[in-house]
Amino acid sequence: MFMDVLNDETYMRLAIDMASKAKGQTDINPVVGCVVVNDGRIVGLGAHLKRGEGHAEVHALSMAGPAAEGATVYVTLEPCSHHGRTPPCCERIIEAKAARVVVACTDPNPVVAGRGIAKLREAGIVVEVGLLGSESEKMNEAFNTFITTRRPFVTVKSAMTLDGKIATKTGDSRYVSGPESREFVHTLRHQNMAIMVGAQTALADDPELTTRLQVPAVHPIRIVVDSKLRLPLDAKLLRERISPVIVLTTEGADANKRQALEAAGAQVLNCGSGPQVDLAEAMRLLGEQEIASILLEGGGKLNGAMLEQSLVHKVILFIAPKIIGGAASPSSFDFEGFERMAEAIELTRMTVEQIGNDVCIVGYPAYG
């Protein structure tokens, strides 16, 4: 920025920047940033970096030490009020004798939900809520969904040609989008707790489903939806034991194959009695296993089924400036389809951005 004006927003922006860089490393916990300012000087900085370890406020306040007295605390999420894996942050702020707390957004966690702010006010601290609130809320969209529904926040990512296809008529799909988009996808893998594909995609592409970036990054848990347990035992994702593999199947699937997959290191989960994996049940089971976010990477059939059953929360589509034709070429959402345009699933809060030569569309499906 050319002119760096100092105001509340400057410090909240700094807190958001710190928090957002930790996305992908806090497990089911939100990312949170905190800045403590006293007498015109930054005296403490902190971010929540790992589940079970210090909350953002604790790090920032311990850096500030006695300088926290009379200070303003900027925090991207309402300070917690509960005894979780760490003591309540609101008590820590009260003990530190801060004069004012600026909060970006409230904590939707039912055990907090306004209680942190109320406790601070009861202690006579001035609390202001809402500065850069929607940005902070968006940064924790997966946490917000998981903590209130106990279901994973599902982002479907797909790359298609200008004529809406994800592969040629022979099935070739390497690559639809350009290198910049693909690098962004690997960042998304780092930021999501799990990545999910259908068995057909696992068979056709034999993917590793790991995160490959210029810097080392976190590898997501790898999930394969495989009602008939067709995943080969020598699949790359089983051989590459870099992160856990979960295979979602049905009760009637072959017991010997199930044992063999388990022996190869996979966890096999039954999702209904078939013939196909009950996807809603799958999301319930994955939520039970504390998988808070999933990046869904195809194929078209699985994307379509997830969307049709209202299980997709966010859509990220890359459109590459290429035309490949072919009536039989598959598309991003391969489901039976609607009869009338009025039935279409529309994206809300849509944004459009150019990434390299591709157009990237992000939106949130509105289910009727």
Catalytic-role residue among 53, 57, 251, 288:
57
Q: Which residues partner with 364 through β-bridges?
A: 348
Q: Is 227 known to sit in a ligand binding site? A: yes
Local structure of 27: helix, strand or coil: coil
* Rounded to 5°, angle at Cα 74 from 91 and 8: 150
Q: How far is CA 236 from CA 75, 135, 239, 264, 316, in A?
A: 43, 38, 5, 11, 26
Binding-site string for Zn ion from residue 7 to residue 36, where x marks contact by CB under 5 A and - marks none:
------------------------------
* Rounded to 5°, angle at Cα 80 from 103 and 154: 85
Q: Is 107 known to sit in a ligand binding site? A: no
Binding partner selected for residue 48 from Zn ion, ligand AOF, none, CB under the kind-specific 5 to 8 Å limit: ligand AOF
Q: How far is CA 320 from CA 126, 314, 346, in A?
A: 50, 20, 21
Q: Examine the residue annotation and report whether 290 is marked as an active-site residue of this protein.
A: no
Q: By CB under 5 A, how many residues form the interface with Zn ion? A: 3
Q: How far apart are the first and last CA of the chain?
A: 42
Q: Is 89 known to sit in a ligand binding site? A: yes
Reported residue count of the chain is: 368
Q: Is 120 known to sit in a ligand binding site? A: no
193 is a site residue for ligand AOF (CB under 6 A): no
Binding partner selected for residue 299 from Zn ion, ligand AOF, none, CB under the kind-specific 5 to 8 Å limit: none
The residue among 46 and 304 lying less far from ligand AOF, judged by its C-beta, is 46
CA atoms within 13 A of residue 38's CA, in its CB half-sphere: 19
30 is a site residue for ligand AOF (CB under 6 A): yes
3-state secondary structure labels for all residues of 169-206: CCCCCCCCCCHHHHHHHHHHHHHCCEEEEEHHHHHHHC
56 is a site residue for ligand AOF (CB under 6 A): yes
Question: Of 143, 148, 186, nearest to 26 (Cα)?
Answer: 143
Binding-site string for Zn ion from residue 32 to residue 71, where x marks contact by CB under 5 A and - marks none:
-----------------------x----------------
Tokens for 254, please give them: 């072959």
119 is a site residue for Zn ion (CB under 5 A): no
Residue of 89, 117, 194, 199 interacting with ligand AOF (CB under 6 A): 89
| Interacting positions 114-173 with ligand AOF (CB under 6 A) | 147
Name the site residues for Zn ion (rule: CB under 5 A): 55, 80, 89
Q: Which residues are annotated as a binding site for Zn(2+)?
A: 55, 80, 89
Which stretches of the chain bind ligand AOF, using CB under 6 A? 29-30, 32, 48, 51, 55-57, 77, 79-80, 84-86, 89, 107, 109, 112, 147
Annotated binding site for NADP(+): 159, 201, 205, 227, 299-305
Report, as residue numbers or ranges, the catalytic residues: 57
